[in-house]
Amino acid sequence: MDKIYFEKMSFYGYHGVFEAEAQLGQRFYVDLEISLDLAKAGASDDLNDTVNYADIFHCVQQIVEKERFNLVEALTAQIASRLLQAFPFSEVKVKVTKPNPPIHGHYDAVAIEMIRKREDIAP
């Protein structure tokens, strides 16, 4: 299966269980690995035979920046589900990284990764 990758898309969102996270917000990074057949697009060189990268970016941006979730798990699941509903992917891997969660200690970030297939989404 062919793949399209989006790496470290950066968005500002208000996700988290604590009130300060809802008020102050913070940066989130999203990585995607999209599985779909790109043979027709590779042969035709026509955008109509693939997916528009800008549309995918905008879909993720709307979810991260315009909606609010307590859990990064819920945010990640929504991104996967909506992408599969909106685009003809067979599978999508979504990784959401929260670089500054309110955890005392030394670490670079925490992240949630989910893999969802078309058959996983409700009609």
Supply the residues annotated as catalytic.
Answer: 98
Q: Look up residue 83 and give its DSSP letter.
A: H
How is the beta sheet containing 26-36 ordered, strand by strand? Answer: 2-13, 26-36, 91-98, 110-117
Q: In angstroms, how far is the first alpha carbon of the chain from the final one? A: 23
CA angle 66, 109, 83 (to 5 degrees): 40
User: Nearest Cα to 59, choosing from 75, 82, 90, 27?
Assistant: 82
